[in-house]
């Protein structure tokens, strides 16, 4: 019985993955998902309370993994003694980005749902939320540098948001365009170098 339940759940989620991938959350038809899964509507509601709950069951593990790793890197850096932060700049974030690229390449389809097909769900601002965390961390780090005696120019929060948004959307291009893993690793490493050089230019006194 447990095996039958697991098989039914898997069929529903697979049919949903295909429907959401093709039409997005808003355009996806619950009727079509149920039909392609080969189950009744009543059986569906035995597993999920709504289309949104079904979407969440597919993307939540991946949203949690990506955001969790990102927050772990942010926290690890912020907890370093201030005088040690400059020499660690880019270390934690570099390891995090490498991990994220590997993770994305291993889970392309559900991650693509999260990043490209989530309009109308609680996940539609996933990248924006990540960007906001990055902006706050960047502004805090610039304050650390000032306390350490560095002459750091004042940068508008809006500019920091634009830069961070460009970087994260650039990283997530590997999902949108299905870039092979090895190429994605090379591209993203060069992207990080590009943004690092840009930041260094901006914070020059």
Judge whether 50 and 33 are in contact, CB under 8 Å: no
Rounded Cα distance between 136 and 160, Å, is 9
Q: What pLDDT band is residue 203 in, cutting at 50, 70 and 90?
A: confident
Q: Which residues, in sequence order, are CB contacts of 82 under 8 Å at separation 6+? A: 144, 147, 148
Does 54 have pLDDT greater than 70? Answer: yes
Residue-level pLDDT at 5: 61
What is the chain's percent helix, strand, coil content, to nearest 5? Answer: 80, 0, 20
Does 72 have pLDDT greater than 70? Answer: yes
Rounded Cα distance between 95 and 73, Å, is 8
Q: What pLDDT band is residue 3 in, cutting at 50, 70 and 90?
A: very low
Q: What pLDDT band is residue 92 in, cutting at 50, 70 and 90?
A: confident
> What digits encode the pLDDT tens for the residues 171-195?
999 998 999 999 999 999 999 999 9
User: What is the pLDDT of the chain when averaged over all its residues?
Assistant: 93
Measured over all CA atoms, what is the biggest interatomic distance in the chain, rounded to whole angstroms?
Answer: 69
Residue-level pLDDT at 2: 45
Q: How far is CA 35 from each of CA 15, 26, 109, 173, rounded to the nearest angstrom?
A: 9, 18, 21, 33
What is the arithmetic mean of pLDDT over 89-96? 86
Rounded Cα distance between 112 and 135, Å, is 24
Rounded Cα distance between 81 and 154, Å, is 23
Residue-level pLDDT at 187: 95
Collapsed DSSP state (helix, strand, coil) of residue 107: coil
In sign, the C-alpha dihedral spanning 184, 189, 193, 198 is positive
């Amino acid at each position: 019985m447990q095996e039958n339940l697991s098989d039914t759940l898997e069929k529903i989620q697979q049919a949903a993955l295909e429907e959401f991938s093709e039409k997005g959350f808003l355009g996806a038809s619950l009727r079509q998902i149920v039909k392609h899964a080969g189950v009744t509507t009543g059986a569906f509601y035995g597993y999920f309370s709504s289309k949104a709950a079904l979407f969440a069951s597919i993307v939540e593990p991946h949203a949690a993994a990506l955001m969790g790793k990102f927050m772990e890197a942010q926290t690890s850096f912020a907890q370093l003694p201030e005088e040690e932060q400059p020499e660690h700049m880019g270390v934690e974030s570099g390891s995090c980005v490498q991990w994220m690229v590997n993770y994305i390449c291993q889970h392309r389809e559900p991650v693509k749902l999260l990043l490209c097909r989530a309009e109308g769900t609680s996940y539609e601002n996933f990248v924006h939320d990540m960007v906001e965390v990055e902006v706050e961390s960047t502004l805090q780090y610039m304050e650390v540098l000032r306390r350490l005696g560095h002459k750091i120019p004042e940068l508008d929060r809006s500019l920091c948001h634009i830069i961070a948004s460009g970087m994260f959307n650039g990283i997530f291009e590997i999902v949108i365009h299905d870039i092979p893993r090895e190429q994605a690793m090379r591209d993203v490493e060069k992207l990080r170098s590009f943004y690092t050089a840009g930041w260094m230019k901006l914070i020059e006194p």
